Amino acid sequence: MTTDSSSSTGVPSDFPSTLSLLFSRPSSSIPLLPRQPFDGSLTSLIHKEATSASWSPALEASVHLLNDDLDSAHDIVTDLEHVPICALPHGVLHRRQGEWWNSQYWASQFPSAGRNAWVKETYGERGAKGFFDDVKKVANGSKGGSSACGAKNALDGVKEQQEKELKGLVVWMWEQDGRK
C-alpha cells in the first residue's frame, strides 16, 4: 500500500510489513492512557528495524507510541530533549501518560508547531495543545456534557483524532527521515 497524499494515516510504501499491522488498528482499540504495549513482541522488532534501517530517534519513538509502548518511547525522547523534532512525540508521550502539564510543555517546544502543515491538518487551529486539553477533559470525565451519550461521543471523537495523530505522526516522521 502506498501513502495517499490526502491521508496522513496511510501506510508508507516502504514501511516494514512486519509492523504495518499497527496501521490497521481502529481508533476504538487505541487507548487514551495505555497501561501496556499493544503488542509487546513488537518492541524489539521496532528497535531492530530502526537500527538496521538507520531511522531517526524521533521516528522510532513515534512507532513505539503507535504500539502504545510508552516506556520505549520515553527512553528515546528523554535522551534527546535538545533535539527539536523530538518535542512533539515527547508531548504526545506525556499526554498518553496523563501528565497534562508536561505534555503542554513539550507541545510548546515543537519549533514549527504553528507553521507545520501536518500539525495544522492533524490538530486544526487549536494545535496540539488544544487537542491535549480535549483529551484531558475526556479522560477526567468533564467533556461531553452530563449525558452518557454526550460523554461517549466526546470519547469517540478524541479517540478518532488520536488515531489520526499517532498514525500521522509516524508517516510524517517517516517523510522527515527522507523515506517515501
Closest CA relative to residue 22, chosen from 140, 138, 163, 117? 163
- For the whole model, what pTM was predicted? 0.88
State how far the Cα of 163 lies from the Cα of 33, in Å rounded to an integer. 13
Instruction: Give Dmax (Cα) for the chain.
Output: 51
- Per-residue pLDDT in tens (0 to 9) along the chain, 180 residues: 333 333 445 888 889 998 999 999 988 899 999 999 999 999 999 999 999 999 999 999 999 999 999 999 999 999 888 888 888 899 999 999 999 999 999 988 876 655 678 888 888 888 888 899 999 999 888 765 566 777 788 888 899 999 999 999 999 999 888 886
How many Cβ atoms from other residues are within 10 Å of residue 105's Cβ? 15
CA end-to-end span of the chain, whole Å? 12
